[in-house]
A and B are shown apart, each in its own frame.
Chain A
């Protein structure tokens, strides 16, 4: 069955370190998204991609970067982790061609910056 997986599921890192969160989908979806979820804020869009080599900034992109070298993967990098980036991160993907398609979510990554 097609799926979307995130790794690691839990990560503790120190302030200032570079951290990369992985997202891999086997749906062959062109649209991929990264969100962070904090209490009271719902899901906030960090970055999104419409296809290979395409990346776009969301509403909370400062301190984060993504790259899309193939259809299946959209890794999220925290260049220099800060305590404010402690959060739960969700990756999602959706199909193209039809605007009204469902987005499928990974299991989430809980990141703690100490």
Chain B
């Protein structure tokens, strides 16, 4: 079982609609969770982070975390063509040494917003 799993898509959403991206993780000691966006040929860039159960909103983006179900999701409201990219879920675990982290990614979901 992979540590972090995502539906690889592709996911196609009409402009203005809500895009919903999902991620599950296997290690219960995971402490923090991230969503990165990656445009074709570019490096990943952080768009959301979440550490506590519940929802976290930032503009058009909402991250949702359910540690009991080991589930993280990202909602993108009012989707724009510029949101078309690959979205990577990442899970961070402390590694025993103070401040040390192990950052593991899912395989990514390719999202296309259709005008």
Contacts and interface: CB of A to CB of B under 8 A. Distances in A.
A35 B100 contact: no
A43 B88 contact: yes
B51 interface: yes
Interface in A1-52: 30-31, 33, 35, 40-45, 48, 50-51
A108 B43 contact: yes
B43 A106 contact: yes
Contact of A94 (B88, B94, B97, B101): B101
B32 A100 contact: yes
Interface in A77-113: 90, 92, 94-103, 105-108
Interface in B30-80: 31-32, 34, 43-46, 49, 51
Interface residues of B, number: 28
Nearest to B31: A99
Interface residues of A, number: 32
A95 to B, nearest CB: 8
B8 A50 contact: no
A50 B95 contact: yes
A40 B96 CA distance: 31
A98 B97 CA distance: 12
A24 to B, nearest CB: 15
Interface string B75-100: 00000000000001010101101111
Contacts of B102: 45, 48, 56
19 contacts: A30-B100, A40-B107, A41-B107, A44-B105, A45-B102, A45-B103, A45-B104, A48-B103, A50-B95, A50-B100, A51-B97, A94-B103, A95-B99, A96-B100, A97-B99, A99-B99, A100-B31, A100-B51, A103-B46
Interface of B: 6, 8, 31-32, 34, 43-46, 49, 51, 88, 90, 92, 94-95, 97-108
